[in-house]
């Protein structure tokens, strides 16, 4: 009789162990699926023509030497330029959050974005970010973008912008004529 009770306890423990293991596997797969969905949503967004048009506008048409200068030239006067800048920045801020929360692997993330895109963009908008931080006393404004840039530089230390293009992205002061 005692062995039958022992057998019942062992079978119960084995059943419980099997169900806990199964549940852990299901949760792990669900988490991986969710991470893949988030990564694909990001990829879908950064492959849209609209995003790249906004990105090109920011990189090639905006003059961003300082926040006050940008605000005076574009700010509320040019809602198209403002929306382009904020839309592009938010993509990189969002990518920084995904990276910080380890939702996406850095190598995978930088596979979705051409490697040089991130430093070019950050160097272009850095005066705006720093100016916003100072003007609004918000030391965290754009911090995820900055962290994303720093991670990219750590991961790809030899990444550089050709000298003939670097000036465009580093916002040199305008020459007086």
Task: Summarize pLDDT for 69-78 with one digit per residue, the tens.
Answer: 999 998 888 9
19 and 80 inside one domain: no
Note the pLDDT of residue 1: 54
Kindly tell me the burial class for residue 82, based on how many C-beta atoms sit within 10 Å of its own C-beta (0-12, 13-18, 19 or more). middle
128 and 161 inside one domain: yes
Q: Is residue 41 part of a domain?
A: no
18 and 55 inside one domain: no
Between CA 121 and CA 127 the distance in angstroms is 11
Note the pLDDT of residue 173: 47
**pLDDT digits 0-9 by tens, 121-150:** 999 999 999 999 999 999 999 999 999 999
Identify the CA nearest to 156 among candidates 91, 106, 122, 112: 106
Q: Is residue 177 part of a domain?
A: no
24 and 54 inside one domain: no
- Asked if 133 contacts 142 with a C-beta cutoff of 8 angstroms, the reply is yes
31 and 58 inside one domain: no
Domain count, the chain: 2
Burial 13-50 (b: 16+ CB within 10 A, else e): eeeeeeeeeeeeeeeeeeeeeebeeebeebeeebeeee
Between CA 172 and CA 18 the distance in angstroms is 64
Q: Is residue 174 part of a domain?
A: no
116 and 146 inside one domain: yes
Note the pLDDT of residue 145: 95
Note the pLDDT of residue 115: 67
For helices 143-155 and 117-135, give the axis angle rounded to 10 degrees: 150
Identify the CA nearest to 61 among candidates 75, 46, 81, 44: 81
63 and 129 inside one domain: yes
Q: Is residue 120 part of a domain?
A: yes
Q: Is residue 131 part of a domain?
A: yes
71 and 101 inside one domain: yes
Element (H, E) at 30: helix 2-46
pLDDT along the chain (177 residues), means of 10: 75 84 81 76 81 91 90 88 92 90 84 78 93 95 94 80 54 49
93 and 32 inside one domain: no
79 and 135 inside one domain: yes
Q: Is residue 105 part of a domain?
A: yes
Note the pLDDT of residue 160: 64
Which domain covers residue 5, as residue numbers?
Answer: 1-36
85 and 156 inside one domain: yes
89 and 18 inside one domain: no
């Amino acid at each position: 009789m005692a062995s039958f009770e022992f057998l019942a306890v062992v079978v119960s423990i084995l059943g419980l162990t099997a169900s806990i293991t199964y549940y852990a596997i299901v949760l792990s797969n669900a988490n991986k699926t969710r991470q893949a969905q988030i990564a694909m949503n990001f990829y879908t967004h950064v492959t849209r023509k609209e995003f790249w048009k906004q990105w090109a506008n920011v990189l090639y048409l905006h003059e961003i030497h300082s926040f006050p200068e940008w605000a005076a030239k574009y700010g509320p006067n040019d809602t198209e330029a403002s929306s382009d800048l904020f839309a592009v920045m938010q993509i990189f801020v969002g990518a920084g959050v995904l990276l910080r929360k380890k939702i996406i692997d850095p190598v995978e993330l930088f596979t979705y974005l051409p490697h040089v895109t991130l430093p070019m963009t950050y160097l272009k908008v850095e005066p705006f970010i720093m100016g916003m931080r100072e003007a609004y006393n918000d030391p965290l404004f754009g911090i995820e973008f900055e962290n994303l840039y720093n991670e990219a530089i750590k991961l790809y230390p030899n990444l550089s912008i050709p000298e003939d293009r670097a000036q465009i992205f580093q916002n040199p002061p305008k020459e007086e004529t």
